[in-house]
Structure 1
Amino acid sequence: MEYIIENANILKDSQLKKSSLLIQENRITSLQTGFKQYKLMKMNAEAFIMTPTYCLLNTNIPLTGTFQELKEFMINQFLMNGCTTLLTYASISYENELMKKINDVKTSLISSPIDFSIGVKIPMRLISQTFIRMCKKEKVPAIFVEFNNAGALEQIPWGWIKEALFPYNSPLIPIISSPQKKEERWLLSKWKETMVNEKISAVYEEIEENQPLSLSILNKIGLYPQKASLMHGAELSYNLYLKGREIKNVDEISLFHYHSDRLAVTVHKGKVIRAGKEVLFKPGNGEYVKVRTPSYFSL
């Protein structure tokens, strides 16, 4: 089906830009100020603020619960908040667990109504050339590394790890297990210093769960622009918020946290999955997102 979404107020970098979108087969094939020469069905989005749908990190999904528990969790945590892609991880303690643990998470999410991507969480001791090559072979998009002392950072042969990561370059993402905030900040500074000095693909801060992932993080993981994007060639996934004076000058994070009551419509790959307070829950509608190339774009 071919049609036009006209007068869309697209929110990007805390600014609204009015554009019209040409849609073909549930993808955005062009963005322009208008398509007056096209005689197609048109949808006027002038009354709304349009954003891409969100991608959230969540590691507390009830994967071993009942279908009803998973359904309620997905609706409350994702669909009602305009999120159509989730990032989670499999916790790995030993190298030989990698494939089984990832497949276990995939199987548990087979009835997911939204798309999902799966990383791994490992202790620092598992960072080795062998394990990194295994992750590269399986195209694991994100490697979460848990540690609680700076000495562990100094024991890793980072030159070899950098070589093992290339050319897929899954980013390493820190998880600090220290309970003290002061020590946590110091460990993160040592993490960043090491990653920068060794030129390792990495995220320098812990990723906060249940809030929209930034474009920078999405790009490093390789989900952008495949997800959370309203650009030429992207899938047609977006949120429509009712406009109002109080949300005229706002960013996407603020919309997500403080104006969820104004979220009117969520569209996922061309299909409406939420209209007002009504949610269309389609088990198995979600797909496993296999990342081809992390950090594909330079942001």
Structure 2
Amino acid sequence: MGYVIDGFTRMSQERSLYIEKGKIRYTGSHLDRLSKVRLNYSGFTIAEGKVTLCDSSHFKSSQAMSEIQIKEYLKKGCTTLIVPVPVFYERQVDDRLTQQRKRLAQTPLDYLIAVRMPLKKITERLIRRLKKEGITLLCLRAKSVQEMQEIPWQRIAEAMFPKRMMIVIEPTVSYNDKKARKDIYQAWDHVAKVYRLNTFFPLPNVLSPLPGILLKRLGLYPQKGRLQIGSDADYLMFHDSEKTRLTPDVIVCSGKIIKAGNKWHLYSRKGKELSNLIPEKFLSIRDVYTYSD
């Protein structure tokens, strides 16, 4: 059943949303004639749910995410997780992905599973295997520029065709060694442009919202991290009397209320894996070679 949210504030303007089957079907200020159940949220400010990188320390055990961990993300406004899975050898891929999917089975948050592994382990066969698993994001840990130059990038690019998986380089050198990190990123920028690879660097920190260009490169735009027609109904509501409050008063994921006031409804929905996306689908021509925010 669809419903209309009336009277809330967004971008300093009073707006309305029409939500049906967990999706935003219309957003604007002229929904008076729509004969649907109406919810008056005057006195509230609405914001889109955030897409954020997950803290890998939450998955060191074989247990599922705890309620405390789930609430920690939700209180920060996160409604979608990017979850990197550490893999050191290709033969580990199936088991590691299966384990991670089991850990995330009971969370109300939607999630995108990424694979994180050493750069030197990347092969064409691995790329094809990850594509078969529906993996959109591959994080490669790079030790040096020389290591990067030894990779047959042309064959890697061919293996990704036609849907171009996103590859992110993560330097493993010390954060204090700024020159080495800069050299690695500059070398990667060159590789990405020469072989027309889909990338972004550096990745945002844990709990920091992903910028729009990164959402587009991953294929999550406009489904996640936005409040516009076609987006999932993931939104946060803050009472205007508590403008400095960081924790949302209301949290909704795909149209289902997860938090209302002090009451939690963590099991009102099961999150889904976001796989088999189409990276760069809405990427504009001017952003083709834009690899940072």
- Whether TM exceeds 0.5 here: the answer is yes
Q: Equivalent residue of 1:60, what SS? A: helix
State the alpha-carbon separation in 2 of the partners of residues 164 and 18 from structure 1.
Answer: 49
Residue matched to 1:171? 166
TM-aligned CA deviation for residue 187 of structure 1: 1.8
1:106 to 98, 101, 105: 101
Residue matched to 1:2? 2
Residue matched to 2:287? none
Residue matched to 1:224? 221
**34-43 or 15-24, larger mean C-alpha shift:** 15-24
Instruction: Tell me, yes or no, if the aligned pair for 1:57 and 1:87 is still in contact at 8 Å.
Output: yes
Residue matched to 2:291? none
1:118–1:283: structure 2 CA closer, same or farther, 3 Å change rule? farther
TM-aligned CA deviation for residue 39 of structure 1: 3.0
What are structure 1's unaligned runs of at least 5 residues?
248-257
1:275 to 254, 257, 260: 260
**281-290 or 176-185, larger mean C-alpha shift:** 281-290
Q: Equivalent residue of 2:57, what SS? A: coil
One-letter amino acid matched to 2:37: M
Map 1:75-224 to 2 at 5 A.
75-76=71-72, 78-179=73-174, 180-182=176-178, 183-224=180-221
State the alpha-carbon separation in 1 of the partners of residues 222 and 214 from structure 2.
Answer: 11
Q: Over residues 238-259 of structure 1, what are the superposed CA-to-partner deviations in whole Å (9 max), with x where a residue is unaligned?
A: 0012336x96xxxxxxxxxx74
* Residue 260 (1) aligns with residue 255 (2): no
Percent identity reads 22
One-letter amino acid matched to 1:294: P
Residue matched to 2:67? 71
Q: Equivalent residue of 1:113, what SS? A: coil
1:279–1:91: structure 2 CA closer, same or farther, 3 Å change rule? same
Map 1:37-52 to 2 at 5 A.
37-52=33-48
Root mean square deviation, CA, Å:
2.3
**264-273 or 219-228, larger mean C-alpha shift:** 219-228
Q: Over residues 140-185 of structure 1, what are the superposed CA-to-partner deviations in whole Å (9 max), with x where a residue is unaligned?
A: 1100000120111111121221111111211101211111341223
Instruction: Tell me, yes or no, if the aligned pair for 2:136 and 2:218 is still in contact at 8 Å.
Output: yes
Instruction: Tell me, yes or no, if the aligned pair for 2:62 and 2:99 is still in contact at 8 Å.
Output: no
State the alpha-carbon separation in 2 of the partners of residues 107 and 126 from structure 1.
Answer: 25
Residue matched to 1:255? none
One-letter amino acid matched to 1:238: Y
Instruction: Tell me, yes or no, if the aligned pair for 1:64 and 1:108 is still in contact at 8 Å.
Output: no
State the alpha-carbon separation in 2 of the partners of residues 26 and 43 from structure 1.
Answer: 16
State the alpha-carbon separation in 1 of the partners of residues 268 and 96 from structure 2.
Answer: 22
State the alpha-carbon separation in 2 of the partners of residues 296 and 195 from structure 1.
Answer: 18
TM-aligned CA deviation for residue 53 of structure 1: 0.8
With structure 1 as the length reference, what TM-score do the two structures score?
Answer: 0.85
What are structure 2's unaligned runs of at least 5 residues?
285-293
Instruction: Tell me, yes or no, if the aligned pair for 1:110 and 1:284 is still in contact at 8 Å.
Output: no
**143-152 or 204-213, larger mean C-alpha shift:** 204-213
* Residue 292 (1) aligns with residue 277 (2): yes
Instruction: Tell me, yes or no, if the aligned pair for 2:22 and 2:255 is still in contact at 8 Å.
Output: yes
With structure 2 as the length reference, what TM-score do the two structures score?
Answer: 0.87
